[in-house]
């Protein structure tokens, strides 16, 4: 005999058995109510109800006997045979089925017409780009069931079918094993405009990214604020926090922007805050689209006329220009791999070290491609060139040496002989900020006659622009290494070596290195002006000039610089990787001190 007692003070709302009734294990006997919640009382074993000690409407105390149960004699139970086929899943409960149906409306398959239009343009959907980017099965979507805040003018079914996720697909995922936040504006939903719920979702993801220091990848395509969201009691919507929160990520964690198609207004503003902008050739990027331009009385233009990719690559807005979205996703993965816990790679292949000996021509006046030096120093296949359409005087790239990620900048002798102009200086200064904020050591490959000079260049605020290199270098917390490939002249060479030859962790030179307080030819013409003018103009004066220049070249040779301890070593170019690897092992990365990265 078993007393069935009340587990709490409650009200009897339903009795489902009578005295003498046989019951089985788990059968519902009574229903109690307490604090507006119902509690089920079930049979603990098979048996028969001997007595019912309460009735509907009674109030009972905790521990009160509700009924008495006589246990049944145990029955002989034959072992259950193994099922021949798998047991089918039971039918979904209505509430679960409703959830499945609602989520199905958020998928691309639910909008075949929109997807057909998208694919006809040669473009992928937001979900297709995310699927290509993230590790399989790793994407957890946030806010998938959001719809546009337009219930006062559209039906719930219309909103669910035509404004899935309110035009913003976002969540957490892994990319090459690294946890990230991924956000993608859906240009097939209200032209990728930014609705109020869209902003709420974005703000939620940005908070998660900042709190957990997760890199952010943003697919930006579409326009700005959406005037049709009539459910929200707002006038202009300029109080939204999205842009301030997005900007707060700067210098705290890697932020990658990817765009194709039309990226205007609010989408462009977020894209412009990113550390890195990857764009396809089909992209147009502008702070205002055609409607805003026309509304401002500035003329009528098609979208393709505003910020085409060729223009934005040449002016420095676009860091990496690619053919299509597949290449954009591949570039994003490549870039992200240089940062975070997985930034070091155990799988690497060294290039042919001997090839570095032939990079710099023996003729000291012959130009060459310094990108060959970058490729010859880096692990095979690791180089990612950044901002290649802008600031041609300095190449910037991310690469690996024996698996370790670092940044590299190199003078370009093919542009102004390697002289540093305003654009090149801006490019180098921002690149130093980028590497510094994210803890990447820096390698500088030096071949410059100095800063570009002359009346024309000074009209472009050369003084301010080139000085950014000194200021950026003075705030570095990461190891900085310099290799002088050929010319190391004047202030330009000092800017390429973090402010001076003894500022870096090491400053080494190849045998082709030559040094001077200014260009050697200019030094001869200025320093020996009287002697040269004393010779008749023609072969005699030129012969004296060549003699004096040869003396300057010899005096400023790499060997003499090393002998006077102005540089640390002169090495065989084939030994460069080994030298840098040892230097990296000795280097130290300090704590981040105000790691802002200039958007420019």
What is the 3-class SS of 99-132, one letter each residue? HHHHHHCCCHHHCHHHHHHHHHCCCCCHHHHHHH
For residue range 204-229, list pLDDT tens digits in order: 999 999 999 999 999 999 998 888 88
Phi and psi at 598, nearest 5°, equal -60, 135
Q: Which two tokens stand for residue 522?
A: 């200019």
Q: What is the DSSP string of 365-420?
A: T----THHHHHHHSPTT--EEESTTS-TTEEEEEEEETTEEEEEEEE-TTTGGG-B
Average pLDDT over residues 573-582: 97
The overall average pLDDT reported for the chain is 92
Average pLDDT over residues 113-126: 96
**Predicted confidence band of residue 128 (pLDDT cuts 50, 70, 90):** very high
Given a cut of 50, whether residue 442 has pLDDT beyond it is yes
Given a cut of 80, whether residue 592 has pLDDT beyond it is no
What are the chain's domains?
A: 2-71 (2.40.50.100), 124-336 (3.90.226.10), 358-513+557-586 (3.90.226.10)
Q: How many CA atoms lie within 13 A of 43 on its CB side?
A: 24
Average pLDDT over residues 190-208: 93
Cα 488 versus chain centre, distance: 35
Average pLDDT over residues 491-510: 97
Given a cut of 70, whether residue 121 has pLDDT beyond it is yes
Given a cut of 70, whether residue 42 has pLDDT beyond it is yes
**What's residue 64's pLDDT?**
94
More confidently predicted of 371 and 151: 371
Non-local (6+) Cβ contacts of 449 within 8 A are: 417, 418, 419, 487, 489, 490, 492, 519
**What's residue 594's pLDDT?**
66
For residue range 47-75, list pLDDT tens digits in order: 999 999 999 999 999 999 999 999 876 55
Return the top range by mean pLDDT from 164-168, 553-557, 572-576: 572-576
**What's residue 87's pLDDT?**
45
Cα 580 versus chain centre, distance: 27
152 three-class SS: coil
For residue range 31-41, list pLDDT tens digits in order: 999 999 999 99
Non-local (6+) Cβ contacts of 556 within 8 A are: 514, 515, 516, 520
**What's residue 403's pLDDT?**
94
**What's residue 234's pLDDT?**
76
pTM for the whole structure:
0.86
For residue range 503-516, list pLDDT tens digits in order: 999 999 999 999 98
**What's residue 227's pLDDT?**
81
Length of the chain equals: 600
For residue range 515-526, list pLDDT tens digits in order: 987 777 877 888
d(CA 492, CA 412): 13
More confidently predicted of 382 and 235: 382
What are 40's strand-pairing partners? 31
**What's residue 529's pLDDT?**
85
């Amino acid at each position: 005999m078993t007393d069935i007692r009340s587990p709490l003070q409650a009200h009897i709302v339903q009795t489902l058995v009578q005295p003498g009734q046989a019951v089985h294990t788990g059968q519902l006997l009574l229903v109690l109510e307490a604090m507006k919640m119902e509690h089920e009382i079930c049979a603990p074993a098979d048996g028969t109800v001997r007595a019912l000690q309460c009735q509907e409407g009674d109030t009972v105390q905790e521990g009160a006997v509700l009924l008495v149960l006589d246990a049944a004699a145990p029955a002989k139970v034959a072992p259950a045979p193994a099922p021949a086929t798998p047991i089918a899943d039971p039918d979904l409960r209505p509430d679960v089925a409703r959830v499945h149906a609602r989520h199905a409306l958020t998928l691309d398959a639910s909008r075949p017409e929109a997807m057909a239009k998208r694919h006809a343009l040669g473009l992928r959907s937001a979900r297709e780009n995310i699927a290509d980017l993230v590790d399989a099965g790793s994407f957890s979507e946030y806010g998938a069931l959001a719809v546009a805040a337009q219930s006062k003018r559209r039906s719930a079914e219309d909103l669910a079918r035509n404004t899935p996720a309110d035009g913003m697909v976002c969540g957490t995922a892994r990319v090459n094993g690294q946890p990230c936040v991924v956000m993608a504006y859906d240009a097939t939903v209200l032209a990728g405009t930014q609705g109020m719920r869209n902003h709420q979702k974005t703000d939620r993801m940005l908070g998660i990214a900042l709190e957990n220091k997760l890199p952010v990848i943003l697919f930006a395509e579409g326009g700005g604020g959406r005037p049709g969201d009539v459910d929200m009691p707002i006038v202009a919507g300029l109080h939204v926090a999205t842009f301030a929160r997005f900007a707060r990520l700067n210098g705290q964690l890697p932020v990658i922007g990817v765009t194709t198609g039309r990226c205007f207004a609010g989408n462009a503003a977020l894209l412009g805050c990113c550390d890195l902008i990857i764009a396809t050739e089909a992209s147009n990027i502008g702070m205002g689209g055609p409607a805003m331009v026309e509304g401002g009385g500035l003329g009528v233009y098609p979208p393709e006329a505003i910020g085409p990719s060729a223009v934005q690559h040449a002016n420095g807005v676009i860091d990496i220009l690619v053919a299509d979205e597949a290449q954009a996703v591949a570039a994003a993965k490549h870039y992200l791999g240089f940062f975070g816990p997985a930034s070091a790679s155990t799988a690497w292949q060294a290039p042919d070290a001997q090839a570095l000996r032939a990079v710099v021509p023996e003729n000291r006046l012959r130009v060459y491609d310094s990108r060959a030096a970058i490729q010859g120093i880096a692990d095979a296949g690791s180089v990612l060139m950044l901002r290649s359409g802008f600031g041609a005087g300095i190449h910037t790239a991310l690469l690996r040496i024996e698996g370790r990620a670092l940044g590299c900048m190199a003078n370009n002798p093919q542009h102004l002989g390697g002289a540093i102009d305003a654009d090149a200086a801006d490019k180098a200064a921002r690149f130093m900020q980028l590497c510094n904020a994210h803890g990447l050591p820096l390698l500088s490959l030096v071949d410059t006659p100095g800063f570009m000079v002359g009346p024309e260049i000074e009209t472009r605020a050369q003084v301010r622009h080139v000085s950014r290199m000194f200021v950026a270098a003075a705030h570095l917390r990461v190891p900085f290494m310099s290799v002088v490939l050929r010319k190391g002249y004047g202030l330009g060479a000092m800017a390429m070596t973090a402010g001076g030859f003894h500022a870096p962790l090491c400053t080494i030179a190849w045998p082709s290195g030559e040094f001077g307080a200014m260009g050697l030819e200019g030094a001869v013409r200025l320093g020996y002006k009287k002697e040269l003018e004393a010779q008749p103009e023609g072969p005699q004066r030129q012969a004296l000039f060549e003699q004096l220049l040869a003396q300057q070249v010899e005096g400023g040779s790499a060997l003499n610089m090393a002998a006077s301890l102005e540089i640390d070593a002169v090495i065989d170019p084939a030994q460069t990787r080994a030298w840098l690897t040892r230097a990296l092992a000795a280097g130290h990365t300090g704590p981040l001190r105000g790691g802002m990265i200039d958007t420019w």
